[in-house]
Structure 1
Amino acid sequence: MFSIEDKVVATKGIDLGAMVVTGLSSGGYYVHVKSEENNCTLTYPARDLKKA
């Protein structure tokens, strides 16, 4: 499980390098992240992320 401000990387999908967790869905299935490189916000399934 991830917490706000954890640094994560994607194991599937678009690889944007290290990202910071900004929020979690109510069920914890989706994780909202913000890219450190280009400052964009994305949502990933939790199973497609791992801690950096």
Structure 2
Amino acid sequence: MFELDDQVVATKGVDLGVMVITGFSGGGAYIHVKVDGMSLTYPVKDIKKA
């Protein structure tokens, strides 16, 4: 399970390196992350802990 401030990496799509979790949505189906000043949203299935 993921928690706020966990470091994660994408397993699908563009590799942006290590990202930090900033929030959750969709009942936990999506995770909001921040990397290089950008805020992005990924499906939970497309990320893993760094």
Q: TM-score range by the shorter chain?
A: over 0.9
1:42 corresponds in structure 2 to: 40
Aligned amino acid, residue 27 of structure 2: G
Select the structure that is richer in strand: 2
TM-score by length of 2: 0.93
Instruction: Say what the alpha-carbon RMSD is for the aligned residues.
Output: 0.9
Q: Number of matched residues?
A: 50
Q: Runs of 5+ in structure 2 lacking a partner?
A: none
1:16 corresponds in structure 2 to: 16
TM-score by length of 1: 0.89
